[in-house]
Structure formats: C-alpha cells, structure tokens
C-alpha cells in the first residue's frame, strides 16, 4: 500500500526542524548506503549529531505517535532513527530497494515500511519526485512540506534528479506488527470502516461483529 499522509508535521514543527538543520553539517549520503545503493545514490545527509538528533527524533516521534492514519496503516513495532537528506541541483537517487535489515548502531529489525516526510515546499525546488513502482504502475510523489508518504520497503523506487533548488526530506523505516503488506492494507481498510461504525452506531450488532473481526485478525496476524 502506498499512502500519502498530510500534515504529519505542523508549521511550528517544520520551522523548528529547519532551524536545527540550517546550521547542521551535511556529508556524502553514500556513507549510509548499502553495497548496491551506493552505486546509484547521490545526495547529502545530516552528519550524526547527538544533540540535534535528540530534538529532531523527539519532534518526529511525538507527531507520529499522535497521527491516526500513520498508526492505523503502519501498525509500528520498531522504527529506525530518521535520516535527514538534502538533494541539491544535479543530485538524484537511482532505482533501489531498501535494506531488509536495519539497525547498524543498535538492535536490528526488519524493514517493512519505508517513510518519506517532505520538509521543503515543492515550489522551492524542481524535479526530485519520489518515484515508486507499484503493482498498479509507477507513481511519482511530491508532497507539500510536512506531508509524508509510506510504502512497502520491498518496493523498487528512486528519487528523480533535482534540477533547481534544494529538496529536504526526513526518511525512516519501520518494522510493523503485521509483516505482510497485503494484510496490513486489509486491516487498514477494515479499521477505517470499524471506526466509522463505532462513531455512528457503537451499540449496533454489526459494529460489534466488525470490531471483533478486526481485533482477532490483528491477533492472528501480528508478530511480537
């Protein structure tokens, strides 16, 4: 499932992120790339700085923890520390699949869902679309500042060349409670119907059946 999530970061949060990143040092993104991705990766990434990262992680984690769409669609179990990437004119990231196992600096976990949070207004740069191959064709994603897109980490994807301006994004990867992407999508759709029924007719017998079915499917399909 490819899902666009608006308003992951609000204006105040975006301003704080930009304030922190404005005087941060950015280094060659190949330093964090795997063997295959290293050959097609051309970007800059914020050099690890514990004080900056602590604040940035706090902002992102707090926002995502309260985002209903993210939690319903991803069902997060573990999440990687974010990477903050910058693409200047002429930079791009060729076709690649994200590493299946994350966590070089700490506990390892499986990457089920990839997430890009757009930090730059799309009018401030040209090109730089996130191009994702899906079973229904190729989709190019370029969202407003503060919006995010999630998609299966197994997807072949790339970042189109930036031809003007600066593209700034935050990237992270999540291990879901539900490993299979088709099952996650079914649960997401069922939960949307469940929440609507719980709001409109909480005492109805059909609402109770849908609620029980959703709960037990999560129990059946979840990894712990």
**How many C-alpha atoms does 49 have within 13 Å on its Cβ side?**
15
Main-chain phi, psi angles of 114, to 5 degrees: -100, 145
Residue owning tokens 């941060």: 24
User: 135-164, pLDDT tens digit by residue?
Assistant: 889 999 999 999 999 999 999 999 999 999
| Cα–Cα distance measured from residue 70 to residue 146, given in angstroms and rounded to the nearest whole number | 13
Sole residue written with tokens 């290293």: 38
Confidence at residue 86, expressed as pLDDT on a 0 to 100 scale: 98
- What pLDDT, on the 0 to 100 scale, is given for residue 103? 82
CATH of domain 3-176: 2.60.120.620
What pLDDT score does 106 carry?
74
Is-contact 171 85, C-beta < 8 A? yes
Other C-beta atoms lying within 10 Å of the C-beta of residue 10 = 10
Residue 147's pLDDT is what?
A: 98
Looking at residue 52, its pLDDT comes to 96
Instruction: List % helix, strand, coil for the chain (3-state, nearest 5).
Output: 35, 30, 30
Structure token pair of residue 108: 């390892």
Enumerate residue ranges in the chain where pLDDT < 70.
none
Domain segments of the chain as ranges: 3-176, 181-221
SS3 162: strand
CA-based angle 186:140:84, to the nearest 5?
90
The residues, ordered by sequence, that sit 6+ positions from 202 with a Cβ below 8 Å of its Cβ are: none
Residue 67 confidence (pLDDT): 98
pLDDT at 105: 72
């Amino acid at each position: 499932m490819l899902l666009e999530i608006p308003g992951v970061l609000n204006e105040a949060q975006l301003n704080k992120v930009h304030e922190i990143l404005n005087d941060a040092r950015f280094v060659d993104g190949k330093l964090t790339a795997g063997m295959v991705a290293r050959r097609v990766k051309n970007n800059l990434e914020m050099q690890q700085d514990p004080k900056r990262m602590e604040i940035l992680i706090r902002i992102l984690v707090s926002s995502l923890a309260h985002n209903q769409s993210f939690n319903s669609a991803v069902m997060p179990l573990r999440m990687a520390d974010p990477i903050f990437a910058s693409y200047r004119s002429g930079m791009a990231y060729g076709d690649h699949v994200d590493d299946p196992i994350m966590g070089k600096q700490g506990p390892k976990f499986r990457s089920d869902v990839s997430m890009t949070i757009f930090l730059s207004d799309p009018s401030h740069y040209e090109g730089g679309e996130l191009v994702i191959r899906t079973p229904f064709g190729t989709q190019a994603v370029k969202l407003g500042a503060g919006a995010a897109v999630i998609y299966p980490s197994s997807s072949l994807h790339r970042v189109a060349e930036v031809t003007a301006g600066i593209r700034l994004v935050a990237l992270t990867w999540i291990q879901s409670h539900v490993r299979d992407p088709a099952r996650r999508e079914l649960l997401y759709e069922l939960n949307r119907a469940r929440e609507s029924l719980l709001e409109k007719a909480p005492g109805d017998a059909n609402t109770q059946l849908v609620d029980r079915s959703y709960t037990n499917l999560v129990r059946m399909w979840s990894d712990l």
